[in-house]
C-alpha cells in the first residue's frame, strides 16, 4: 500500500480535524435544548465532560490500533491516521507501519475521532472512547479499524485523496500561512492558528479550506453565527466539497436553525452518503422538527456506520421508541449506549432510566 505524500498530508490535515465538529459536541448550550426530551438531555448533561466523573481517571492513556482491509483482510501499511479529541484539545497524526499498526501515547481520557486515509480506499471515521473501562492494566486501549473496497458510486476525488484543482491555484504565500496554522494546531497554539488562517484568507479570499478551518475553531468556541458565515462561504467557493456542508449543518443545529440544517446536511449526504455524522445530524434535525419516522432511518444509519458516534444516536432512538410505545426497543438502545460509553457521566442517568423502564410493569 502506497502512503500519502507529505504534501497530501499537509494540505488535507485541517479538513479531517474539522470533519467531526458536528452536533454532538456542543448541543448542551444550544437553544434546541428547550424542547428536547429527557433521555436526550441525559446525554447533553455531560457527554463530553469526563472530568465530572466519580471514577478517578488515569492522567494519560495509550491508543494502539491496527488498520486492515475488511474483517478478514490483510493489514494496511502506510495509511495516514488522524486522531482528534472531541473536546478539541488534542490532535495528532501518524502512519501505519508493519502489520498495519499505529499508536498514540499520553492521551487524556475522553472520546476521540480516528480517521484513516489509505490511497484508493474511502476514508473511514471511527469514534473511540479512550477511558478506563476499555484500557488494560498498563493503560492501553486496543482497536481495529477496517477499511473497505470502494463501492460503485464512490467518487474518484474521494478515493484518490488528492488536492482539488481550485486548491492548486492558491498562492504560495497563502499556502505557507495555512501550513503554519496547521502546525500551530498540532501544538495546540490556537491563537497563532487563528492568526495564520485569517492571513491566509486575506491573501486568498477564495481559500475554502482556510475558511472551513477557521469556521471549525469558531464553532468550538460556540461562536456559531461566525462559523455559519465561514462555512457558507467555503461551500459557495467549492460546492462539491463535503466538509463545509457537513460543518454548516452542525453549526446550524447548534444555532437552533434545524430547517436550514436539513438543507445543509442533505447536501452533505448527496456528496457522501456513507458518512455517519452526516446521517446523525440529519436525524437530529428531523427529530427536532418532530419528523420521527425519517429520523429513525438516519439515526440507525449513523449507528450502523459508527456505533460509538459521539452524537449518541442510541439515546435519540430510545426516545423515539418510547414515544411510539416500543419500550423493549428503547431499553435495547439504552443498553447499547452503556456498552459503548460506560464511563461517560450521562451513563449514570441512563442506568437509572433502564432500571425505571424495567421496573415499570406496563
CATH number at residue 95: 1.25.40.10
Q: How many CA atoms lie within 13 A of 174 on its CB side?
A: 18
Q: 13 falls in which pLDDT band (50, 70, 90)? A: very low
Containing domain of residue 48, as a range? 6-359
Lowest mean pLDDT among 2-11, 54-63, 263-272, 336-345: 2-11
Residue from 183, 180, 4, 161 nearest 92 by CA: 183
Lowest mean pLDDT among 124-138, 160-174, 188-202: 160-174
> What's the whole-number mean pLDDT along residues 138-167?
66
pLDDT at 34 over 50: no
**Residue 333 included in any domain:** yes
In this prediction, residue 175 carries a pLDDT of 92
Instruction: Write out pLDDT tens, residues 155-168.
Output: 544 444 444 545 66
The C-alpha atoms of residue 185 and residue 267 are separated, in whole angstroms, by: 28
In this prediction, residue 48 carries a pLDDT of 33
**Residue 153 included in any domain:** yes
Paired with 141 in beta bridges are 63, 135
> What's the whole-number mean pLDDT along residues 102-128?
90
The C-alpha atoms of residue 19 and residue 242 are separated, in whole angstroms, by: 9
**Residue 275 included in any domain:** yes
Instruction: Write out pLDDT tens, residues 212-270.
Output: 999 999 998 899 999 999 999 999 999 988 999 999 999 999 999 999 999 999 999 99
In this prediction, residue 170 carries a pLDDT of 82
**Residue 1 included in any domain:** no
Q: Which residues of 18-45 are buried (b: 16+ CB within 10 A; e: fewer)?
A: bbbbbbbbbbbebebeeebeebbbbbbb
**Residue 15 included in any domain:** yes
Residue-averaged pLDDT of the chain? 80
Rg for the chain (alpha carbons), in Å? 20
The tally of domains found in the chain comes to 1
> What's the whole-number mean pLDDT along residues 195-216?
94
For residues 84 and 44, the model is more confident at 84
In this prediction, residue 168 carries a pLDDT of 60
In this prediction, residue 274 carries a pLDDT of 86
Q: Which residue has the cell 497554539?
A: 189
Decide: residue 197, CB within 10 A, 0-12 exposed, 13-18 middle, 19+ buried: buried
The C-alpha atoms of residue 316 and residue 39 are separated, in whole angstroms, by: 7
Amino acid at each position: 500500500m502506497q502512503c500519502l505524500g507529505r504534501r497530501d498530508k499537509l494540505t488535507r490535515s485541517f479538513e479531517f480535524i474539522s470533519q467531526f465538529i458536528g452536533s454532538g459536541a456542543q448541543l448542551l448550550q444550544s437553544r434546541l435544548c428547550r424542547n428536547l426530551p429527557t433521555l436526550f438531555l441525559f446525554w447533553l448533561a455531560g457527554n463530553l465532560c469526563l472530568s465530572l466523573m466519580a471514577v478517578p481517571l488515569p492522567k494519560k492513556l495509550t491508543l494502539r490500533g491496527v488498520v486492515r482491509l475488511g474483517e478478514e483482510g490483510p493489514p494496511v501499511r502506510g495509511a495516514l491516521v488522524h486522531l482528534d479529541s472531541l473536546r478539541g484539545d488534542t490532535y495528532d497524526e501518524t502512519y501505519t507501519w508493519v502489520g498495519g499498526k499505529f499508536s498514540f501515547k499520553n492521551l487524556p481520557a475522553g472520546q476521540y475521532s480516528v480517521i484513516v486515509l489509505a490511497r484508493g480506499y474511502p476514508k473511514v471515521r471511527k469514534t473511540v472512547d479512550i477511558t478506563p473501562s476499555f484500557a488494560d492494566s498498563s493503560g492501553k486501549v486496543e482497536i481495529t479499524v477496517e477499511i473497505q473496497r470502494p463501492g460503485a458510486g464512490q467518487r474518484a476525488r474521494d478515493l484518490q485523496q488528492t488536492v482539488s484543482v481550485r486548491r492548486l491555484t492558491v498562492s504560495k504565500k497563502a499556502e505557507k500561512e495555512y501550513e503554519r496554522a496547521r502546525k500551530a494546531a498540532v501544538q495546540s497554539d490556537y491563537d497563532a492558528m487563528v492568526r495564520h488562517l485569517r492571513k491566509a484568507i486575506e491573501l486568498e479570499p477564495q481559500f475554502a479550506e482556510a475558511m472551513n478551518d477557521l469556521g471549525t475553531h469558531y464553532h468550538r468556541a460556540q461562536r456559531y453565527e461566525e462559523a455559519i458565515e465561514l462555512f457558507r462561504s467555503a461551500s459557495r467557493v467549492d460546492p462539491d466539497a463535503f466538509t463545509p456542508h457537513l460543518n454548516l449543518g452542525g453549526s446550524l443545529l447548534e444555532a437552533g436553525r434545524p430547517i436550514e440544517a436539513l438543507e445543509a446536511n442533505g447536501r452533505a449526504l448527496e456528496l457522501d452518503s456513507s458518512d455517519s455524522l452526516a446521517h446523525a445530524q440529519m436525524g437530529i434535525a428531523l427529530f427536532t422538527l418532530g419528523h420521527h419516522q425519517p429520523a429513525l432511518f438516519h439515526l440507525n444509519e449513523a449507528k450502523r456506520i459508527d456505533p460509538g458516534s459521539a452524537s449518541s444516536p442510541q439515546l435519540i432512538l430510545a426516545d423515539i421508541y418510547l414515544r411510539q410505545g416500543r419500550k423493549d426497543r428503547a431499553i435495547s438502545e439504552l443498553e447499547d449506549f452503556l456498552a459503548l460509553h460506560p464511563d461517560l457521566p450521562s451513563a449514570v442517568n441512563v442506568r437509572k432510566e433502564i432500571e425505571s423502564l424495567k421496573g415499570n410493569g406496563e
